[in-house]
Amino acid sequence: MTPLHDALIDDHRRLDRIFSEVGEATAAGADLRTIGEIWTRFGAALRRHLALEEDAIFPVLTRTHPDEISALCVEHHRIRTRLERLDMDVDLHLLRDPAVRSLIADLQAHARREDVGLYAWAEAELSPAEKRHMLTELDRQGLGEPGAAAHPQA
């Protein structure tokens, strides 16, 4: 593995830890304030992750892998749409464990898809400057998260 690939995989792991917190809180029937706080952190981290991929990886890889990037863009749109619906459920105190579990399963499948294709391509096709930018952004986004660590520069 290479520094960028490892950093992107680590970011999926970081998101997965937050997904687990949301799932555990809803399954345990945690108080609404706790669920809301975890959900807010989860939504913000996921939106930042999606935006980083779309801004820094997709434009480069769309030239060489247009069908896969198009499919991932559709998945990102679906993920954001679900997040918006669940944001409303949180606000209305209607967020339930089955909806969270369903989203988590879909996000994990999406992450596996990116892990095996997108991230290897990104490592191979992004310029050194683009890789450094990605690593810097991943480090910045991971600040304050449990287990976040600095990644070496490409």
The model's pLDDT over 43-72, given as tens digits with 9 standing for 90+, comes to 999 999 999 999 999 999 999 999 999 999
Is 32 inside any structural domain?
A: yes
pLDDT of residue 67: 97
pLDDT of residue 142: 66
pLDDT of residue 109: 94
Is 65 inside any structural domain?
A: yes
Q: Percent of the chain at pLDDT above 70?
A: 90
Is 118 inside any structural domain?
A: yes
pLDDT of residue 150 exceeding 60: no
pLDDT of residue 26 exceeding 70: yes
> Could you give the 3-state DSSP secondary structure of residue 82?
helix
What value, to the nearest 5°, has the Cα angle with vertex 14 and ends 138 and 154? 30
How many angstroms separate the first and last alpha carbons of the chain?
Answer: 12
Number of domains in the chain: 1
pTM score, whole prediction: 0.85
pLDDT of residue 152: 39
Is 148 inside any structural domain?
A: no
Residue 99's alpha-carbon distances to 6, 46, 86, 120, 143, in angstroms, are 30, 16, 8, 31, 28
Is 10 inside any structural domain?
A: yes
Q: How far is residue 99's CA from residue 22's CA, in Å, rounded to a whole number? A: 11
CATH at residue 63: 1.20.120.520
The model's pLDDT over 77-97, given as tens digits with 9 standing for 90+, comes to 999 999 999 999 998 988 887
Is 115 inside any structural domain?
A: yes
Average pLDDT over residues 91-110: 88
pLDDT, greater one: 141 or 86: 86
pLDDT of residue 148: 43
Is 149 inside any structural domain?
A: no
Range of the domain at 72: 3-142
Q: Which amino acid is at 73?
A: C
- Identify whether the C-beta of residue 8 lies closer than 8 Å to the C-beta of residue 151: no
